[in-house]
Amino acid sequence: MNPLLDALRRIVGANHVLTDGDLSAYEQDWRKRARGKALAVVRPGNTSEVAAVVKACAQAGASIVPQGGNTSMVVGAVPDASGTQLVLSLQRMNTVRAVDAANLTVTADAGCVLQNLQEAADRAGYLFPLSLAAEGSCTIGGNLGTNAGGTQVVRYGNARDLCLGLEVVTAQGEVWDGLSGLRKDNTGYDLRDLFIGSEGTLGIITAATLKLYPRPTVRLTAWAALPSLDAAVALLGLAHTHLGAGLTGFEVMGQFALSLVGRHMPQLRVPFLGNPAAPYCVLIENSDHESEAHARAQFERLLELALAQGCASDAVVAESLAQARQLWHIRESIPLAQAEEGLNIKHDISIPVSRIPAFCATTDALLQREIPGVRLVNFGHLGDGNLHYNVQAPEGGDAAAFLRDREAQVNTLVFDSVLAFGGSISAEHGIGSLKVDKLPHYKSPVALGLMRAIKQALDPQGILNPGRVVRG
């Protein structure tokens, strides 16, 4: 008999306190980097139940790991191996509460799956622009908890930019109702922005009020072959100039990243695959509120200029929605293809766009010098200066051994280079537990001191997602 588990069963019902059977969906992270052991998985059905669960845990001094879709890239949402932490899954709280058309907002429970929210917005005649490959399983709470980015940031911003209000259960089990939906509110410290990106370490997000946008009339997608990363940066500049606010996506993909899609998803036809004149490809999206003809004319002009100026060596524009979806599907399949290839070292970095080519030239050379034959799975949201600069063992090498023997060395090399180029070691995935011990090396002592003071003030018992973001 465990008095805490008994109390939790009384709060959420015995069916929603899971202790037996296969709990791997809650205990194993998406990348298979860590497998924990939960005391239990608790699945509250509403905000009051979340508050009561947190109060009971606070009384018992038990740690809580908030979890949405468990798609974290940095081992942020699974329990440790102690068997003492509770996973608090928000998945049952999945209602879209209300669309306020005049206010251009939607309010939804934190456990709402992103794709379901996009579809609800679409049914109401609006666009909710947050978009990422995990959208079929990640949740709004997880998106806000990590301040997720994705593929539309160049136009609409990160999850933070899309959020107008939050409802949060504090570490003491109190409910803060901040679901105002106001676009202006300067009444003191911004609590909403404190919780966004805090990775479940300061409070549990139970609902959010989010911005809606008018739906574009048409979204056109192009795929271009490029001779270099310098060319990609030049093409991005042209796209900003010629598409203006229509530029809603600008993704870069290295040939090796695309070759993994070709290898593990042979049913997908990857344009310019293996073309030696195209070490990089980019996917560009143009969203237009006028007409398809207008959007195509804009795209044609852009691509003509790109070819004339040598920023692109070839390009295709999707002829139909189905073709556009296929191109996006190729891009979004890279993480899965990379996972199929084996365990890998991920770096989700941001660098000023102008410095990305020099960063890659320098860091590629350093890595090849230290580990000859190492393979770089390089892709990402170039429009936001966000690269997924990932490192895979040399061909035929043992992936697990590579991780064990080389991860620390590779991380130090890449992160030192990121620092030298004025970048950040986490652009959109967060810190989780994978980067928690790296942060003190790459963040200023003043910033870390402020972060620790905030953690201490909001969660003095240290029960919310301990060991993530900052250590006590």
| Contacting positions for ligand FAD (CB under 6 A) | 30, 65-73, 76-77, 90, 110, 132-134, 138-139, 141-143, 145-146, 148-150, 199-200, 204-205, 335, 428-429, 465, 468
CA torsion sign for 202, 207, 208, 209 is negative
Q: Which does 287 bind (CB under 5 to 8 A by kind): ligand MLT, ligand FAD, none?
A: none
Give one DSSP letter per residue of 350-392, joined into a string.
Answer: E--GGGHHHHHHHHHHHHHHHSTT-EEEEEEEGGGTEEEEEEE
Structure token pair of residue 171: 């570490």
Q: Which is nearer to ligand FAD, 375 or 429 (CB)?
A: 429
Phi-psi group of 199: left, alpha or beta (phi > 0 → left; psi -120 to 50 → alpha; rest → beta): left
Residue 330 touches which member of ligand FAD, ligand MLT, none, C-beta under 5-8 Å by kind: none
**Residue 90 interaction partner, one of ligand FAD, ligand MLT, none, beta carbon < 5-8 Å per kind:** ligand FAD
SS3 at position 335: helix
Partner from ligand MLT, ligand FAD, none contacting 388, C-beta within 5 to 8 A by type: ligand MLT
Q: Binding of ligand MLT at residue 254 (CB under 6 A)?
A: no
**Residue number closest to ligand MLT, CB atom:** 335
SS3 at position 314? strand
Q: Which of 34, 124, 133, 191 binds ligand MLT (CB under 6 A)?
A: 133
CA distance 472 to 462: 7
Measured from the CB of residue 68, what is the shortest distance to ligand FAD in angstroms?
Answer: 3
Shortest distance in whole angstroms from residue 254 CB to ligand FAD: 16
Which is nearest to 459 in space by CA: 159, 202, 166, 104?
202
Nearer to ligand FAD, 90 or 403 (CB): 90
Q: Which is nearer to ligand FAD, 107 or 298 (CB)?
A: 107
Q: Which residue is nearest to ligand FAD (CB)?
A: 142
What ranges make up the beta strands (E) of 68-114? 85-89, 96-100, 105-109
The closest alpha carbon to 117, from 215, 107, 286, 153, belongs to: 107
Q: Compute the distance between CA of residue 20 and CA of residue 36 in angstroms, rounded to an integer.
A: 14
Residue 333 C-alpha from the chain's centroid: 15
Q: In the complex, what is the shortest distance from the CB of residue 243 to ligand FAD, in angstroms, rounded to a whole number?
A: 21
Minimum CB–partner distance for residue 2 and ligand FAD (Å): 23
The answer to whether 383 contacts ligand MLT (rule: CB under 6 A) is no
Residue with tokens 């996006």: 328
Residue 72's binding partner out of ligand FAD, ligand MLT, none, with CB under 5 to 8 Å set by partner kind: ligand FAD
| String marking each residue 2-41 x if it binds ligand MLT according to CB under 6 A | ----------------------------------------
Alpha-carbon distance of 251 to 399, in angstroms, equals: 27
347 binds ligand MLT (CB under 6 A): no
Q: Which does 204 bind (CB under 5 to 8 A by kind): ligand FAD, ligand MLT, none?
A: ligand FAD
Nearer to ligand FAD, 39 or 303 (CB): 39
Task: State how far the Cα of 80 lies from the Cα of 29, in Å rounded to an integer.
Answer: 11
376 sits near ligand MLT (criterion: CB under 6 A)? no
**154 versus 207: smaller Cβ distance to ligand MLT:** 154
Q: How far is the CB of 445 from ligand MLT (least distance, A)?
A: 29
User: How many chain residues touch ligand MLT (CB under 6 A)?
Assistant: 7
Choosing among ligand MLT, ligand FAD, none, which partner's interface includes residue 143 (Cβ < 5 to 8 Å by kind)? Answer: ligand FAD
Answer yes or no whether residue 76 interacts with ligand MLT by CB under 6 A. no
The answer to whether 320 and 252 have CB atoms below 8 angstroms apart is: no
Amino acid at 296: R
Separation of alpha carbons 107 and 99, rounded Å: 6
Q: Which residues contact 75 (CB under 8 A, 6 or more apart)?
A: 29, 31, 33, 34, 432, 433, 434
Label the pairing between strands 126-127 and 96-100: unpaired
Contact status, residue 338 vs residue 393, Cβ threshold 8 Å: no
Beta-carbon contacts of 218 under 8 Å, excluding residues fewer than 6 positions away, are: 287, 288, 291, 292, 295
**DSSP code of 216?**
P
For ligand FAD, which is the closer residue by CB, 70 or 411?
70
Under the binding rule (CB under 6 A), the answer on residue 388 touching ligand MLT is yes
Q: Looking at beta carbons only, is 141 or 254 nearer to ligand FAD?
A: 141
- Distance, in Å, from the CA atom of 291 to the CA atom of 277, rounded to the nearest integer, reads 34
- The nearer residue to ligand FAD, 287 or 426, going by C-beta atoms, is 426
User: Nearest distance from residue 73's CB to ligand MLT, in Å?
Assistant: 6
Q: Choose from ligand FAD, ligand MLT, none: what does 70 bind? Cβ within 5-8 Å by kind.
A: ligand FAD
Shortest distance in whole angstroms from residue 165 CB to ligand FAD: 14
Touching ligand MLT, residues 326-345 (CB under 6 A):
334-335
CA distance 425 to 74: 12
- Using CB under 6 A, list all residues that contact ligand MLT: 73, 133, 334-335, 348, 380, 388
